Amino acid sequence: MIPQAAIRPGVMQALILVAQILALAALVFGLQFLWNTTGGTLFLFATIGPLLVGLGVIIVAGVLLYRFRKRHSLFAFETFEPGRIIFHQGEEAQCAYFIRSGEVEVLQGAGSDQKVIATLSRGQYFGEMALIHNAPRNATVRAVTKSTVAVLGKQNFAIMLNLMPSAQEDIMKTVSERAMNQRVNHPM
């Protein structure tokens, strides 16, 4: 599963609404200035009006920048508490995971026959085999400690492999080593 955005869409909509209200308030102050030009309204319009419009512009710019960065980011980040399953064996693969902190264990089998086949930590990755082979997950992965991972979607994974030959070589080497270990530890 691909993680949800860090800021919910409802929060962004609320920020845009606040920016619109600030611009409307500035308009009201401007109209008040036109109707009753006095020293007080002149001061109010000259100081608070631009401040409200400026604050509204800053909010809209912040939301647009966040949306741009989110759309153009290669990775999303997610944190898993100890014991939480990151994905189950047999699930469809949507992304690969790169461990930033913490430790996870890779399990194969079902029910009481599940066995830990590997423990991975910072700097290692998992979930790539199913993406490369376009196959269901061949193992279950569970967080051992609180773990933060960089999540790379299927499309971005393919882009990364095409654009970074060294990453492709490293990942293919790891896939080969894991496949060999699996054959040695679990002969057919």
**What CATH superfamily is the domain 76-185?**
Jelly Rolls (2.60.120.10)
Q: Evaluate the CA torsion angle 112, 117, 123, 129 in order and state its sign.
A: negative
Which of 163, 161, 157, 3 is closest to 76 using CA atoms?
A: 3
What are the domain boundaries of the chain?
9-71, 76-185
Residue 181 pLDDT: 67
Q: What pTM, to 2 d.p., does this model score?
A: 0.59
Tens of pLDDT, residues 6-41: 566 678 788 888 888 888 887 777 777 666 666 666
Q: What is the pLDDT of residues 78-119, one digit of tens each?
A: 999 999 999 999 999 888 999 999 999 999 888 778 899 889
- Reported as a pLDDT band with limits 50, 70 and 90, residue 4 is very low
pLDDT at 126 over 70: yes
- Long-range pairs, 158-167, Cβ under 8 A, ≥24: 158/131, 159/74, 160/74
What sign results for the dihedral spanned by CA atoms 121, 122, 123, 129?
Answer: positive
Q: Which residues contact 6 (CB under 8 A, 6 or more apart)?
A: 70
pLDDT over 80 at 52, yes or no? no
Q: What is the pLDDT of residue 120?
A: 94
CA 4 to chain centre: 7
